[in-house]
Chains A and B, each alone.
Chain A
Amino acid sequence: MLRIMLKIKDLKASVEGKEILKGISLEVKAGEVHAIMGPNGSGKSTLSSVLAGREEYTVDGGSVEFFGKDLLEFAPEERAREGLFMAFQYPVEIPGVSTTNFLKTAVNQVREHRGLPALDAVQFLQNMKDKMKIVDIDQSLLKRSLNEGFSGGEKKRNEIFQMAMLEPKLSILDETDSGLDIDALKIVANGVNTLKSPENATIVITHYQRLLDYIVPDFVHVLLNGKIVKSGTKELAYELEERGYDWIKAEFANA
């Protein structure tokens, strides 16, 4: 029996007094890939933000358990150290801080939390070199200021590279496909697939089915107006691609 990693129960959340998530329930087990699809404004990004612990979002009800612990009790950095990773839709620029330096700080804080000794410079660089191959990222990019002047593709590859370095249990990819051409999309997807193991899980948040050709989900959930209205397998994604979201909207217009 697979272990339950993430257990979301009737999660309700709002931002600036506006109710966005209206009762979401979802279970993710180790080794699984879940896709969450839905039209703009359905609450996809709110869900990832709430899970990652962004301050602007208020949880109004429900619960989230991560390996049996109350995730919502944790500060954002504690969630990260417990093994939750989010690939940002819009990665943030930090001038003057190289990706290498940034990741060294992050990796060693995470390692400290997990009771592991800090990596020295040599070990860290070796580790980096190994992981760079996964997303075909160039070392010169990692010496530059974090995300500053990076192309869209470089930013997203850098997100997956960070994921590789931090070795999370659960990764949430928030619209990672947005703004990517097909080549970049393949590289990113390939990276995610390489990192996949029976011990970790992935939640892919996307508007389009396209990414799911490369990261094949075990389950597909349709988010509409703050609720998961339909769940299925990858075939559901194809159906959405073909028919759009309107038929689901119509079906649940009165829900």
Chain B
Amino acid sequence: MSKDAEILDEFTSKEYEHGWTVDLEADEAPKGLNEDIIRFISAKKEEPEWLLEWRLKAFRHWQKMEEPSWAAIKYPKVNFQDIIYYSAPKKQKKLKSLDEVDPELRETFKKLGISLEEQKRLTGVAVDAVIDSVSVATTFKETLAELGIIFCSFSEAVQDHPNLVKKYLGSVVPQNDNYYAALNSAVFSDGSFCYIPKGVHCPMELSTYFRINAANTGQFERTLIVAEEGAYVSYLEGCTAPQRDENQLHAAVVEIYVHADAEVKYSTVQNWYPGDKNGKGGIYNFVTKRGICAGDHAKLSWTQVETGSAVTWKYPSCILKGDYSVGEFYSVAVTNNYQQADTGTKMIHLGKGSKSRIVSKGISAGFSQNSYRGLVQVHKRSENVRNFSQCDSLLLGDKCGAHTFPYIEVDNSTAQVEHEATTSKIGEDQIFYCNQRGIDTEAAVALIVNGYAKEVLNKLPMEFAVEAQKLLALTLEGSVG
């Protein structure tokens, strides 16, 4: 090494060593991303060494990766150094009941129409509320514990069930899977962990509400669901975010591991802030969701209602490894104003006799762009695979766009793959017919759209279906007439 290089090397490592300090007492990490920030997050969460190493490995992958540009979406480049990667709400002592939750926080929930106690009392849903990346309240844990079901925040799982987390983390979505998954793996703050033991049928719908709270905080949730042999669980995820000006990045990862004869239903109602009427602000939602049907006769079903976000990039997928395993994807994606959505699924058929069903309903209004992107892949050795795909697009007005990108790759001649696609516009005749019965145009559109999306909405648990219907109507308000 030459003298100059030596000096330079010393100088840079010095800078690296001292130029950047992180206050461990701080509730918030400074803006930006480097290995120290990752160490800070990991230390804050008192994580074991292996997890820190796991994060760092992901970060090193991420640094070498490029932001994907193949999706049919446009947005200004995200400055990843301008994001705060960790912030925690003021720490309080561990909570036993909802009464101990910060009254201000509960008020916010109420404004959002999410009343924890109501959920708890009326529906028997155990709610794990995530506010700004740290779980604040977890309910019904004891009832579930009696059955051996683990349902807790991801951080708690790391502390209490490290072996399970270590075994399954990254088993479906590897650290280097894609740009956003790698980022998430490096900096994920919290999320949910769910484990259903062998043969246990989870008696209640599990649900988590996510919400972005403090300004400038990127959200990097990590969800891991494991269903052992013969287990069953229905898991609900719902998102609402308050109005704000700055674009916010949301890059979550959901991993689901389904063993033989087990079934997991994962339902989402996503309503992140979509930006204002002119397309200003709104959430960027770059999510990786994937599950594996690892054993024979395993079943995984995704249902999603996407109404929010300025930009959505999301493809909940199923790896159908087990023989006779089943994958399902039911989706309603609504875009209005200047929203953009590129969403769909991947069905990877590896097991023989595996089946998949895709029902996608896109609704575009305003100046929005709505794309379905789906892959059905049948591998050489998987015999007698069946797939059925139905992709419908509904247009409101003539300034929006609907696009369908189906990819079908079949390497086995016994496969039966069907794809149907339709595009329609809401007819003036339909609206006039409703009007003539006394129904105003706004309500008519809500009625017609909900009818159009019914097949998907019917897959949602009851209380979610009602919420989703209201959401569809709300999203499309003012888009016709």
* Interface members, chain A 105-162 (any B CB < 8 Å): 105-107, 109-110, 113, 145, 162
- Against A, the Cβ 8 Å flags (1 = close, 0 = not) of B406-437 are 00000000000000000000011110111111
**Contact segment of A39-47, A80-88, A196-204, A231-239:** A80-88
Cα–Cα, bound, A85→B439 (Å): 12
Q: Which of B433, B447, B448, B455 contacts A91 (CB 8 A)?
A: B433
Cα–Cα, bound, A110→B436 (Å): 11
Q: Is the CB of A97 within 8 A of B435?
A: no
Cα–Cα, bound, A162→B453 (Å): 24
Q: Is the CB of B447 within 8 A of A92?
A: no
Contacts of A81 in B (CB 8 A): 438
Chain A, interface size category, equals: 20 to 34
Scoring B437, B438, B451 by chain A CB atoms within 10 A of each residue's CB, the highest score goes to: B438
Decide yes or no: A109 and B435 within 8 Å by CB, A94-B447, A94-B451, A102-B447 being known contacts.
Answer: no
Contacts of B428 in A (CB 8 A): 55
Cα–Cα, bound, A96→B472 (Å): 15
Q: Is the CB of B435 within 8 A of A80?
A: yes
Cα–Cα, bound, A96→B438 (Å): 20
Say if the beta carbon of B466 comes within 8 Å of chain A: no
Contacts of A94 in B (CB 8 A): 430, 433-434, 447-448, 451
Decide yes or no: A86 and B455 within 8 Å by CB, A55-B428, A94-B448, A97-B450 being known contacts.
Answer: no
The DSSP consensus for interface residues of chain B is helix
Cα–Cα, bound, A103→B437 (Å): 8
Say if the beta carbon of B454 comes within 8 Å of chain A: yes
Say if the beta carbon of A182 comes within 8 Å of chain B: no
Q: Which chain A residue has the least Cβ–Cβ distance from B429?
A: A92
Q: Which chain B residue has the least Cβ–Cβ distance from A80?
A: B438
Q: Is the CB of B437 within 8 A of A145?
A: no
Cα–Cα, bound, A95→B441 (Å): 17
Q: Which of B432, B438, B454, B455 contacts A110 (CB 8 A)?
A: B438
Scoring B427, B429, B441, B452 by chain A CB atoms within 10 A of each residue's CB, the highest score goes to: B429
Q: Is the CB of A75 within 8 A of B451?
A: no
Decide yes or no: A88 and B451 within 8 Å by CB, A106-B438, A109-B443, A110-B438 being known contacts.
Answer: no
Q: Which of B427, B429, B438, B453 contacts A166 (CB 8 A)?
A: B438
Q: Is the CB of A97 within 8 A of B433?
A: no
Contacts of B439 in A (CB 8 A): 77, 105-106, 109
Chain B, interface size category, equals: 20 to 34
Contacts of B450 in A (CB 8 A): 96-97
Decide yes or no: A105 and B430 within 8 Å by CB, A81-B438, A95-B452 being known contacts.
Answer: no
Cα–Cα, bound, A162→B448 (Å): 18
Q: Which chain A residue has the least Cβ–Cβ distance from B428?
A: A55
In the assembled complex, how far is the CB of residue A29 from the closest CB belonging to chain B, in whole angstroms? 23
Say if the beta carbon of A52 comes within 8 Å of chain B: yes
Q: Is the CB of A106 within 8 A of B437?
A: yes
Q: Which of B432, B434, B454 contacts A55 (CB 8 A)?
A: B432
Contacts of B438 in A (CB 8 A): 77, 80-81, 106-107, 109-110, 113, 166
Say if the beta carbon of A101 comes within 8 Å of chain B: yes
Q: Is the CB of B432 within 8 A of A76?
A: yes
Cα–Cα, bound, A97→B436 (Å): 16
Q: Which chain B residue has the least Cβ–Cβ distance from A145?
A: B451
Q: Is the CB of A97 within 8 A of B440?
A: no
In the assembled complex, how far is the CB of residue A170 from the closest CB belonging to chain B, in whole angstroms? 13
Say if the beta carbon of A53 comes within 8 Å of chain B: yes
Cα–Cα, bound, A52→B428 (Å): 14
Q: Is the CB of A105 within 8 A of B436?
A: no
Cα–Cα, bound, A105→B469 (Å): 14
Q: Is the CB of A76 within 8 A of B429?
A: no
25 contacts between A and B (CB under 8 A): A53-B435, A75-B435, A77-B435, A79-B436, A80-B438, A81-B438, A85-B436, A86-B436, A88-B436, A91-B433, A92-B432, A94-B433, A94-B447, A96-B452, A96-B455, A97-B448, A97-B451, A97-B454, A102-B447, A103-B437, A106-B437, A106-B438, A107-B438, A110-B437, A113-B438
4 A-B pairs besides A53-B435, A94-B447 with CB distance below 8 A are A77-B438, A86-B436, A94-B430, A145-B451
The 6 A-B pairs with the shortest beta carbon distances in the complex, nearest first, are: A96-B451, A97-B451, A76-B435, A96-B454, A106-B437, A80-B438
